[in-house]
Amino acid sequence: MSRIHAMDTRPEISVRRYLHRKGLRYRLHVSSLPGKPDLVFPKPRVCVFVHGCFWHGCTKCIDGTRAVKSNREYWVPKIAANKRRDAKHEAELKRLGWEVLVIRECEVPDVARLQAVFRAITRRRD
């Protein structure tokens, strides 16, 4: 567990690099916002979360090769609680007037998905 990081994960850094190359500037892990979003774009009021598939219960990946196979009594409720917490943070941010974008670890290699995130941010900025 000591090798598990909450910040600066490979998928998060990939998203950051892509958006930075596209000319976007952002703040990282703003603790004053609910859920401490991974990327925050203050002017257009957009938050981006980069979720790991296992930790946040990705429905595309969990039932595949990355399914919970051991200690299910612990992990199934833990992942369900993570999903509830994510939904709560997203609702709080929306109530505060923020647009919330979520990109999952399995979506990061998909350039079209990264382009969609970029377009969503710039659309709010204009």
- Single pTM value for the model: 0.88
Domain membership flag for residue 122? no
Domain membership flag for residue 60? yes
Domains: count for the chain: 1
Residue-number span of the structural domain to which 75 is assigned:
10-117
**Three-state DSSP state, 101:** strand
pLDDT digits (tens, 9 = 90+) for 91-121: 999 999 999 999 999 999 999 999 999 999 9
Instruction: Name residues whose C-beta falls within 8 Å of residue 83's C-beta, 6 or more positions apart in sequence.
Output: 56, 57
Domain membership flag for residue 107? yes
The CATH number for 64's domain is 3.40.960.10
pLDDT digits (tens, 9 = 90+) for 19-75: 999 999 999 999 999 999 999 999 999 999 999 988 888 888 765 455 677 888 888
Give yes or no for a contact between 104 and 53, defined as CB atoms under 8 angstroms apart: yes
